[in-house]
Amino acid sequence: MGDRLVIASHNAGKIREIGTLMAPYGIAVVSAGDLGLQEPAETESSFAGNARIKAHAAAKAAGLPALSDDSGIMVDALCGAPGVYTADWAETPAGRDYPMAMTKVWEMLEAQGTPEPRVAHFCCTLCVAWPDGTDLLFEGRVTGRLVWPMRGALGFGFDPIFLADGETETFGEMEPARKHAMSHRAVAFAQLKAGLLD
């Protein structure tokens, strides 16, 4: 993979988490934003499709290998929504508002009388693309349930309402190192590590 990698994202939380995961391998990461690269339109209906779009755009523009992440939360009772549209559900004219998006999800579950447990999955697809157009995909998933009210301010996105199976703290309450060791991104990264770094 080389010793430099573009993280094809402008999301500070994702960049921080991926940078932490890559640090032990001596790979210097630089974000697409740091390189002044524009975010491409995510026009696919799957995490894999959108991850490929972002990784290939960054690899081509930077002339370096690029790693992208497309991830989101899928709620069983909402037929997998918000899914690939997770960030869109948080979009407002003033920027992303995840507390508003979490409230919307919870209110939808309440309105349809969804019983407990309200099963959800955090899903992540990582794509590593090279400037020559080749790529590899790695997928991770963590299953849990949604809780209310929101708990914790340590994570980002939907972390404050996601309680992974077997855990007592939401991702929003967990210390970052603990969350990074078990998150959907960590599961996908373990596959990437086995396929490319070990």
- Topology of domain 4-197 in CATH is Maf protein (3.90.950)
Residue listed under structure tokens 């407990």: 116
Residue from 3, 34, 69, 70 carrying the catalytic annotation: 70
DSSP characters over 29-77:
EEETTTTTPPPPP---SSHHHHHHHHHHHHHHHHTS-EEEEEEEEEEGG
- Angle at which helices 184-192 and 12-22 cross, to 10°: 40
pLDDT value for 1: 67
Q: Each residue of 34-68: pLDDT tens digit?
A: 999 999 999 999 999 999 999 999 999 999 999 99
pLDDT beneath 50, residues of the chain: none
Q: Has 70 been annotated as catalytic?
A: yes
Residue ranges of the domains in the chain? Answer: 4-197
